[in-house]
Amino acid sequence: MAPPPLLLLTDISITLGTVPLLSGASLSVGAGERICLVGRNGSGKSTLLKIASGEVPFDSGTRFFQPGATMRYLPQEPDLSAFANVMDYVLAGLGPNDDEYRVRYLLGELGLSGDEKPANLSGGEARRAALARTLAPSPDLLLLDEPTNHLDLPAIEWLESELKSLSSGLVLISHDRRFLENLSRSMVWLDRGQTKRLDKSFAHFEAWRDEVLEQEEQEFHKLGRKIAREEDWLRYGVTARRKRNVKRLAGLHSLRAERRNYTHKLGTAKLASLDAATSGKIVVDADGISKSFGERKVVDNLTFRVLRGDRLGIVGPNGAGKSTLLKLILGQLEPDAGAVKLGASLEVVTLDQQRAALNPNTSLADTLTGGKSDQVHVGNQSRHVIGYMKEFLFKPEQARTPVGTLSGGERGRLLLAVALAKPSNLLVLDEPTNDLDLETLDLLQEMLADYTGTVIVVSHDRDFLDRVATSVLASEGNGKWVEYAGGYSDMLAQRAGAPAAEQKGEKKAAPKPQAAAPKQAEPAARKISFKEQHELKTLTVEIDKLHVEIQKLDTILATQGLYEKDPKKFAAATEALGGLHAKLEQAEERWLELEMLKEG
């Protein structure tokens, strides 16, 4: 007989104001289980975790927690204001039999002394203090709400290792894909107030979620129900975006290959001579730049180039000087030595992680339009504000919502919408993934893939860097920065001098002695045939035509009252749309296969 769960929530319902947030949600956590709770921003994940912790009452349902078991809850915004220093705050979380030595160990590992005053803490330091308080008792059950927010990469990787070493049950909310992949054993998906469970890791979640959504969409059509197009796109568009991103990923690999070849050919001696040859393509040319503040070196003799179309990721621990490096790159700060040359006719748009550009009293629509009309100017085109909002996963009824009432993730989305509406050829993103849910991260990746200019992004999200970056500029300590071709995983592989497969745990084969038999020539990789080259060209045209036909059918199905007025036309268009999507998927898979053959 299986032991009873540590925590059991059954049929939990709660209404906030007049809006039902949870309607029959359930959660069961056994000893040692590692469950990741995922869902869109605003779906009620944090509320469900607060109910699980006992902090928030609920309207109906049952909550059971194993008598005698211990639990600790990490909120998104910890409050240290009632304590004189960090040490007092962490010690206050200990039970009668807990070890104070573990407190000192955790504070040391998290880079805190314990003497810090709460009023002087940064967001990252407050998060570290709260983690020490939560982990110090080694409880039977841990409830963690966005534990990686405001943490740098070394701290995130340390936290992963620490959580893996614990025998505690774990319920975790996070939008960090790599963090979820490394820790999860089960997934609970909160969608439209209800929970669905998958007893597999996050690596299997997105494919499973897409299957569930596709089945629901088919059921909607079978029942002849009218689908609200806005909600349909928000939910079911996830699948379409992921399929399109297969093609985009191939394009990213191609860009990385070009970047790697360019880097190998460049060499510091050729910097000056390449300037004229690549005129118009160079966005940033940094030659031997250095910057110090007193005795502290932030940048030491750094040389690199950013070319038009590059996606440069900047990584490093907090305090390494990422913000200073950005200011040097953009010409906002003069280097102590060396020089930075910026390309001609640059139009720069910056997205800051503090969301400072948003006025909390202005409505969402006025923030996008400037309050002068109902049109948003995107490049050389004018777009109706409602249509533009929907592209960033906002509903039409949110148009008059004050910015100050939006969630952190919604404000992040709005800032992206504002930034991408401005004309630019250089986009600078400082921690753009903070507070964004998985669907919005997919959307951001897609938008950056479509962006024709250059992107410089500071991020601690390893998966996002792997999906977006063509090269990574990483801090190696004491002012030294090194550029690596590819994303974050490529950087780790190059640092170790090993192929990427070894970074995933595969053992390296032992080297053969010099006296071994002569190495046989490897069979040459098959090259793309003339017929296949022709097929590749025709596939590109076919894919474009399919997109046009799908757009036409989407427009027809979006016609108000179509099902009531002409159900046969609605059914025919729906069936045709399904067939076109199937053809598009087959065409894109074949296109990717041929592209890889061509590159090989």
Domain boundaries, the chain: 7-212, 253-347+424-498, 526-600
pLDDT of residue 425: 84
- CATH of 253-347+424-498 given 3.40.50.300, 3.40.50.1000, 1.10.645.10, 2.40.110.10: 3.40.50.300
In sequence order, the β-bridge partners of residue 244 are none
Tell which residue, 149, 203, 193, 139, has the closest CA to residue 171: 139
pTM: 0.68
Continuous H helices in 510-529: none
Write the pLDDT tens digit of every residue in 172-196: 999 899 999 999 999 999 988 999 9
Rounded to the nearest angstrom, the gap between the alpha carbon of residue 142 and the centroid of all alpha carbons in its chain is: 24
Between CA 360 and CA 364 the distance in angstroms is 9
| Distance spanning both ends of the chain, measured CA to CA | 55
Phi, psi of 65 (to 5 degrees): -125, 130
Rounded to the nearest angstrom, the gap between the alpha carbon of residue 331 and the centroid of all alpha carbons in its chain is: 28
Write the pLDDT tens digit of every residue in 369-414: 888 778 887 766 788 888 888 878 788 888 888 888 877 677 878 8
Between CA 525 and CA 504 the distance in angstroms is 25
Sign of the CA dihedral 429, 433, 437, 442?
positive
Write the pLDDT tens digit of every residue in 205-246: 988 988 888 787 776 665 544 444 444 444 545 555 555 555
Angle at 93 between CA 89 and CA 99, to 5 degrees: 110
- Report, as ranges of residue numbers, the positions in the chain whose pLDDT lies below 70: 1-2, 219-280, 352-357, 379-380, 408, 497-527, 558, 560-561, 563-564, 596, 599-600
Same CATH fold assignment for domains 253-347+424-498 and 526-600 = no
The CATH code for residues 7-212 is: 3.40.50.300
pLDDT of residue 232: 47
pLDDT of residue 88: 95
Q: Which tokens go with 566?
A: 């002409």
Between CA 107 and CA 204 the distance in angstroms is 35
> How many helices and strands in the chain, by DSSP H and E?
20, 20
The CATH code for residues 526-600 is: 1.10.287
pLDDT of residue 514: 41
SS3 content of the chain, % helix, strand, coil (to 5): 45, 20, 35
pLDDT of residue 525: 53
pLDDT of residue 264: 40
Cβ contact 435:412 at 8 Å? yes
Between CA 320 and CA 81 the distance in angstroms is 28
Torsion-angle region of residue 111: left (phi > 0), alpha (psi -120 to 50) or beta?
left
